[in-house]
Structure 1
Amino acid sequence: MEQLIPPEWFIGLHWSVLIGIAAAATYGLMNGADWLVHGASYLARRLGIPKVVVGATIVSLGTTSPECAVSVMAAWNGRPGLALGNAVGSIIADTGLIFGIGCLMAVLPVDRFLLSRQGWVQFGAALLLAGLCYSAFGWQGDAATLGREVGALFLTLLIVYMIMSVRWSRQRLRGLATEPDASVPAPVALPGPADLQYDEDDPAEAAPAAVAPVPEPPPPPTAAVGEAKKASVAWLLSLVVVGAATVVVTSHILIESVSELARQFGVPQVVIAATMVALGTSLPELVVGLTAVRQGHPELLVGNVIGADILNVLFVIGASAVAASLPILDPLARVPHIFLVVHLPTMLTVLILFRVFIWIACRQGHFSRWMGLPLVTLYCAYVVIQYAVS
């Protein structure tokens, strides 16, 4: 991800200038996240698609595409090892850090339709990646790589996944069209004059001339729904694209400026690598997810985490492996086998824990706040281990 904004641009700048750049980047980052979340939520209303589905497709694609482009360029430029580490690290950060913090902030809703489809694709893609990596290491030893045939397989599965996502969305729309609206109360049948018994000899019980019909309560109009209906799909899509681009660019400017500021104040390089670099790979998804929760759209967070995990395997690793074979071991690292002994086991542990929480949440109807604590703790332990072996 560091090639998107060259670090050389910030070297030698005065600390006051770096603080100003960081402040401006933070302001742009927050505004970009607001544009992305507003555009995605209005687009969901405009198209009649659940927000969790928009989060799993459009939002996750917008926040993952720049990372895919950078990983592919790194593979072309002779640094293919970045792709595997970036993709697996992003999965751990998305599920452990971002979803964990989201759970701690609010009770997150459960969408059984998405969790029973995209949720299993997320888990299956990670299992496939881990199985291929361990199989390649067992077969090829220290020279193990994920070749172009693996990349072609992942890209083929990506096409299948996108086709199935469209079909699932259509099934979802048909299901929503046939379901009654729970927000509108059912009309109550009131007795009419013919249904009542009257004593015609008693003037006090004379039958009324007519019973006025009870009007049905209109659905409560909201400003958001009105704005969503007025805005065109093209405008909302452009808002999502501009918001995603702003989030990605400003997040990297923020990370590079703060990293250079830390160097000037004497912070050790290894500490910067274990914190700023780790945060930089997941900052766009983190800001977008927390903004969605803060604005009352937690479904976008759930969908974005699941969709981003799928795309990190099928899209980022697939496209990078097609560009160049990806080495599983890093001979320049202090622990060359760190990907096999730290990254992959942590990814599998986080996703297994996530599946357990999905099972609990489907039974109780929501993700509880306490579920965020073990996920965030696991992510912090992962960062500490990376710092220790660096």
Structure 2
Amino acid sequence: MDVTGLRVALFSGNYNYVRDGANQALNRFVGYLLRQGAQVRVYSPTTNTPAFPPAGDLVSTPSFPVPGRAEYRVPWRMSARVRRDLKRFAPNLVHLSSPDPLGHLALSWARNRGLPTVASVHTRFETYPRYYGLAFLEPVVLSMLRRFYRRCDAIVAPSDSMAQLLREQRMSYDVGIWTRGIDREIFNPERRDLGWRRSLGIADNVPAIGFIGRLVMEKGLDVFSDTIDQLALRGVDHKVLIVGDGPAREWFQHRLPAAIFAGFQQGQDLGRAVASMDMLFNPSVTETFGNVTLEAMACGLPTVAARATGSESLVTEGVTGRLIRPGAINDFADALAAYCMDSDARNAAGAASIARTQRNGWVQVNQALVDTYIRVIHQRAQGAVPRASPVP
């Protein structure tokens, strides 16, 4: 069997209605599958105001808004219309990109029909409760995730560090890698624009500390703000450049009134914004990969990041940036201050970062997931079924 024989039913909790790194990777992958001759059908909640056009055929699923985060939706059931569409499409593999209620139903649907399933892991859902005062729920969330992923034939993680964590958490016997690529036409050092910086009030000789991403508390906005306070107390000359938008923007602006908020950027504008920074500060521990980190590295920036999944697979400590214990405000401030005050160190780490990103080409990245699909289908044809872990 080759790629032209694939008929993939992809279930996503957010395929295109809110833009994020995970769904952009999924859309890029679906585009790759279609160009290679595969058949793909996508099932996801939809809205009247999608963030971008979907790649492939998108079937809307019943959903409701997430309480307190209405921009996101929970797909909660597999309607009769969706079931009829699935029957007509007749997939030979089901891809699950979110362990939400519809993902569980789709997994049961596939297992009842003897179809192989592959799940891609895009975020560390078990870490989310701690940002909303519910840390005691983390073991419960872990248990729910474990039950979901163990029922799949294989799971794929976007980084080596995340794959290792999934093994340690006993999520699956079969953990592979589906990493992320980089668009070098958009993300490269040539996009740096000093005129654009000046228009925002950033002088040429003032180091700009960047934040890129959706403005939500689980991205570590509190740690970012506390660290910037430390730099100010130390008298370190800098500017903070925030690129992105989200429900926590008002909180973030109130917390960092001197920061420059450039808002949501995409395409060439995003490449210009990233390349016009001098370093990236990414304190989040929720990412499984960290697309923004890879993009910043491709633009020649050093990264100061939390020592967590994703970042550990991209940032080489002391070479392309610094990896700091999560939440260690003073250590984060030390690392940022060193880069702010030493342009030679910034340049050296930036050059090493560009070299590191050379291995992340989209064709190779997406073909690796195609290979996983075909392997899993072949294993099922030989009588293999998902094995439950012997450890609860």
TM-score, normalising length: structure 2: 0.26
TM-score, normalising length: structure 1: 0.26
Higher relative contact order (CA 8 A, sep 6+): 1
Identify, as 1 or 2, the structure richer in strand: 2
Identify, as 1 or 2, the structure richer in helix: 1
